[in-house]
Amino acid sequence: MSSNLPVRRAPLRARNAASKTDENAHAYRPARSGAPHAGASKDALANDKSLSGAESTRPSAPGVLGTRKRAALGDLTNANRVRSTHLVGKPDEKKADAKDTKVHSRPRLAVPAARPASHLPARPPTVRRTLRAKPDVPEAMAIDTPRGTQTSAEPGPAEHAEPREAKRVKVVESTVPKDAGWEDLDKDDMDDPLMVSEYVEEVFAYMREVELRCMPNGEYMHMQRDLNWHLRGVLADWLIETHNKFRLLPETLFLALNIVDRFLSLRTISLSKLQLVGVTSLFIAAKYEEVLCPSIQNFLYIADGGYTDEEILRAERYMLKVLSFDLSYASPMNFLRRISKADNYDIQTRTVAKYFMEIALVDYRLLDHPPSLCAAAAVWMAREVLERGEWTPTLVHYSTYAESELLGTAEIMLDYILRPPAHRHFYKKYSSKKFMRASAYVMEWAKSSFPNAVVTENDVALGKWTDECGEKHSLDMLRVDLYERHGHPRPAVLPLGSVSRSVSPASDAA
Residue 311 has a CB neighbour count (10 Å cut-off) of 16
Q: How confident is the model over 291-335, as pLDDT tens digits?
A: 999 999 999 999 988 899 999 999 999 999 999 999 999 999 999
Q: How would you classify residue 458: left for phi > 0, otherwise alpha for psi between -120 and 50, otherwise beta?
A: alpha
Do residues 320 and 284 make contact, with C-beta atoms less than 8 angstroms apart? yes
Q: Quick check: do 215-322 and 332-509 share a fold?
A: yes
Do residues 286 and 328 make contact, with C-beta atoms less than 8 angstroms apart? no
Three-class SS state of 125: coil
Q: How confident is the model over 59-78, as pLDDT tens digits?
A: 444 444 445 555 554 444 55
pLDDT at 162 over 80: no
**pLDDT score at 123:** 54
First to last CA, the chain: 144
**What is the longest distance spanned by two Cα atoms in the chain?**
159
Mean pLDDT to the nearest integer, 447-471:
86
**pLDDT score at 195:** 87
pLDDT at 473 over 60: yes
Mean pLDDT to the nearest integer, 436-447:
96
**pLDDT score at 70:** 53
pLDDT at 102 over 60: no
pLDDT at 436 over 50: yes
Do residues 276 and 311 make contact, with C-beta atoms less than 8 angstroms apart? yes
**pLDDT score at 174:** 41
Q: How confident is the model over 338-378, as pLDDT tens digits?
A: 999 999 999 999 999 999 999 999 999 999 999 999 999 99
* Confidence category of residue 379, pLDDT binned at 50, 70, 90: very high
Continuous H helices in 303-437: 309-322, 332-342, 347-362, 371-385, 393-399, 403-417, 424-429
* Confidence category of residue 508, pLDDT binned at 50, 70, 90: very low
Three-class SS state of 357: helix
Element (H, E) at 97: helix 94-109
Q: Domain ranges in the chain?
A: 2-109, 215-322, 332-509
Fold of 215-322: Cyclin A; domain 1 (1.10.472)
pLDDT at 84 over 80: no
**pLDDT score at 466:** 80
> Rounded to whole angstroms, how far apart are CA atoms 87 and 477?
118
- Among candidate residues 457, 362, 469, 460, the one with its CA nearest the CA of residue 412: 362
CA atoms within 13 A on the CB side of 397: 16
CB burial string 145-171: b at 16+ within 10 A, e below = beeeeeeeeeebbeebbeeebeeeeee
- Among candidate residues 33, 55, 30, 32, the one with its CA nearest the CA of residue 44: 30
* Confidence category of residue 9, pLDDT binned at 50, 70, 90: low
pLDDT at 168 over 60: no
Mean pLDDT to the nearest integer, 392-407:
95
Continuous H helices in 215-345: 229-246, 250-264, 274-289, 296-302, 309-322, 332-342
pLDDT at 482 over 90: yes
* Confidence category of residue 175, pLDDT binned at 50, 70, 90: confident
Q: How confident is the model over 24-64, as pLDDT tens digits?
A: 444 444 444 444 444 444 454 444 444 444 444 444 444 44
Do residues 209 and 421 make contact, with C-beta atoms less than 8 angstroms apart? no
**pLDDT score at 227:** 95
Continuous H helices in 56-93: 78-87
Mean pLDDT of the chain: 75
pLDDT at 432 over 70: yes
* Confidence category of residue 267, pLDDT binned at 50, 70, 90: very high
Whether pTM > 0.75 for this model: the answer is no
Q: 94-109 and 78-87 are packed helices; what angle lies between their axes, rounded to 10 degrees?
A: 160
- Among candidate residues 358, 386, 377, the one with its CA nearest the CA of residue 444: 386
CA angle (251, 253, 258) in 5-degree steps? 95
Mean pLDDT to the nearest integer, 192-210:
91
Mean pLDDT to the nearest integer, 384-388:
95
Percentage of the chain beyond pLDDT 90 is 52
Assign 3-class secondary structure to 144-193. HCCCCCCCCCCHHHHHHHHHHHHHHHHHHHHCCCCCCCCCCCHHHHCCCH
- The answer for residues whose C-beta is within 8 angstroms of residue 85's C-beta and 6 or more apart is 62
CA 447 to chain centroid, in Å, comes to 49
> Rounded to whole angstroms, how far apart are CA atoms 283 and 463?
37
> Rounded to whole angstroms, how far apart are CA atoms 445 and 418?
10
> Rounded to whole angstroms, how far apart are CA atoms 316 and 312?
6
Quick one: DSSP state of residue 503? Answer: B
Fold of 332-509: Cyclin A; domain 1 (1.10.472)
* Confidence category of residue 155, pLDDT binned at 50, 70, 90: very low
